[in-house]
Amino acid sequence: MVFGADRFPQICFAAEGILHGGGDLSRGSVGYVMIASHEIRSSSEEETIELGTAIGEILRAGDTILLLGELGSGKTRLAKGIISAAACIPDDEVVSPTFTLMNRFEGQFPVYHADLYRLEPDQIEGIGLEDAFEENGALIVEWAEKMTVMDADPLRISIYYAESRDGRLIVLEWLSEGSWHDRMAGVAARWPLEQGAV
């Protein structure tokens, strides 16, 4: 599946034409698939990490999680929770790979954590993202809006600043008929929209 980096904010998924939020709606051979979403409000870093832990508990080998958001919005905090739960390690052992580009954590399956902040879209190929799938692992990508090639069935998480200083609106999106659907129903039930005061 291919995205133009300049169009990523308008297009959520485009594998076989899975579109969301506008963009090129040419019909040609493109089919349309429903996307499920859930919004969560977090009022602290701890709540964001706790949400990550809930997602990490359902992470499977072969999964891809795409994290999007402005600098300092909470992508690394969310990744800490996901990775610590999935790899069974303390969250303080999870550090952002901003300078190393990618970290690997061992658990029941390898969990790869990539940070694309320092890269341009044309520099991403060859940093080892494909290793996650060759080794039957899971991949978590910060600054995923820079990617031009995506997994066909990711969990896409966008984090937005809210009105309060520490508040965040976290939007989770997945294919309604994809591998995340049943698992995310449990997370959505644990994390209603009203969570926290934002």
Residue 198 lies in a domain: no
Residue 113 lies in a domain: yes
Residues β-bridged to residue 172: 38, 157
Q: Which CATH number is 140's domain given? A: 3.40.50.300
Residue 23 lies in a domain: yes
| Sheet containing 64-69: order of strands | 35-42, 168-175, 155-161, 64-69, 138-142, 111-115, 102-105
DSSP, residue by residue, 68-136: EESTTSSHHHHHHHHHHHHHT--GGG----TTTSEEEE-SSS-EEEEE-TT--GGG-TTSSTTHHHHTT
Q: How far is CA 1 from CA 30, 147, 149, 155, in A?
A: 12, 11, 6, 15
Band of residue 12 on the pLDDT scale cut at 50, 70, 90: very low
Q: Per residue in 98-128, pLDDT tens?
A: 777 889 999 999 999 999 998 878 877 878 8
Q: Per residue in 149-168, pLDDT tens?
A: 667 899 999 999 987 777 89
Residue 29 lies in a domain: yes
Q: How far is CA 70 from the centre of its chain?
A: 14
Residues β-bridged to residue 169: 41, 160
pLDDT of residue 47: 93
Domain count across the chain = 1
- Domain enclosing residue 13, as ranges: 5-190
| CB-based burial label for 54 (10 Å; 0-12, 13-18, 19+) | middle
What is the mean pLDDT of the segment spanning 57-70?
Answer: 95
Lowest mean pLDDT among 3-7, 96-100, 126-130, 148-152: 3-7
Residue 196 lies in a domain: no
Residue 197 lies in a domain: no
